[in-house]
Amino acid sequence: MQRLEVTDSPAPSARAVIAERLLAFNEASLGPAGIQPLAILLYSDDGSEVIGGLWGRTSFQWLFVELLFIPVELRSQGLGAQILQKAEAEAKRRGCQGAWLDTFSSTAARFYKRCGYQPFGTISNYPPGAARYFLLKVL
């Protein structure tokens, strides 16, 4: 009989096994995922350190934006929109048909809507007293 374990400190290799096997299963029925990382990095004025940017990946002809961060003092200057546009252009170059992302911030959700993203789901009260917003954009 198989053994089950509940843990809050799994080995990183365990995640890799699960991810690899799930990807292989999905690709067997859906075709190649074509997973490629995508990062747009924002550097400090002197170019010495990354201070923000976008982190995501393309797969199955979609861009997933996992992280997008602009330092507070640089917001409202168009950097977020510029970074998204660069990521979307690269996604199109890679043959993607759309982009999707999620955020806990209602302010960020409004920003993404201004950039052409449309809501496709919300989890209310996650985290408690707030919400998690899911948005997409057809490229």
Q: pLDDT tens digits for 50-60?
A: 999 999 999 99
Q: How far apart (Å, rounded) are the C-alpha atoms in residues 17 and 33?
A: 17
Q: Which two tokens stand for residue 4?
A: 């089950």
Q: What is the SS3 assignment for 122?
A: strand
Q: What is the DSSP string of 40-62?
A: EEEE-TTSSSEEEEEEEEEETTE
- Tokens 């010495």 sit on residue: 48
pTM: 0.91
Where does 33-138 sit in CATH, by number? 3.40.630.30
For the chain, where are the alpha helices, taking DSSP H only?
12-30, 79-93, 106-114
Rounded-to-integer distance, Cα 29 and Cα 59, Å: 15
Question: Average pLDDT in the 89-106 region?
Answer: 98
Kindly list the domain boundaries of the chain, sorted by start residue.
33-138
pLDDT tens for each residue of 20-66: 999 999 999 999 999 999 999 999 999 999 999 999 999 999 999 99
Neighbours of 134 (CB within 10 A): 15
Per-residue pLDDT at 38: 98
